[in-house]
Amino acid sequence: MSHLAQPDTTIVAPPRARYPRSLKGKVALVVGGAGAIGAATSRMLAAAGATIAVTHLDSERDTQAAKALIAELGDGHAAFIADVADTPSLIALRDAIQARYGRLDILVNAAGYTKPVPHADLDALTDELIDRMLQVNWRGQFATIRTFAPMLKASGDGLVVSISSIAAFTAVGSSIAYCAAKAGIDVMTKALARVLAPEVRVLAVSPGVVDTEFVPGRGADFNDKVSASTPLKRIGAADDIAAAITACATMLGYSTGHIVQVDGGRAL
């Protein structure tokens, strides 16, 4: 009597990732790459093997900063003009990235804007300023992810890292609107991690005070005061944040939907 062959039902587990993961052959887009954190991130991702595309605003200062960064990184890397508050410019950017590289593996949302407004001065936080704060710091991040989601999903191993802030949960920041926008990034990170999985991981990096010119008017006295009240006794550097973003790409391969704090313990 003949016997029919039984189907092989053995489940073969996928190979474990080897860490640190190589970024060789990967294309990373750093939105806001002309800024301090964006530039530091571009350098680290390039050192890990990625090809870097950065965006910058159409201003002389940002254009020169982006050109200098690309000259430092060398051949194969490129800079593009785009504004996260202008979705048509993001769509044009996507077409340019597709035409030049044919793929996108990593998206870093490093563009941002703020203007200090004392929290108690409710009248100073005008409708126009609130709208601008949310337009750049929340809507712009979402619009960028929405625009590039198809390319990231096509990668099969896509990654989004957005810059948040501990202001999202401490409610201590340059303005109430800024805190609210960063809280929105944390919520967006968790929601998009669910809907873009498994092809795309979505993470956020949440700094404390960082030694950049991002917040106008903050000087050495402010930095010294914050350093004294921070457990690690210093404020963050752009490289600290860039290292966390790079770790998301090279070390945190089984993480998605999480907010990575890089604050020297300030939020404790």
Bridge partners of 165? none
Of the residues 19, 101, 113, 178, only one is catalytic, namely 178
Residue 254 is among the residues annotated as catalytic for this protein: no
Distance of CA 194 to the CA centre of its chain: 18
Give, in order, the Cα–Cα distances in Å from 149 to each of 37, 68, 130, 183, 258: 23, 29, 27, 22, 18
Active site residues per annotation: 178
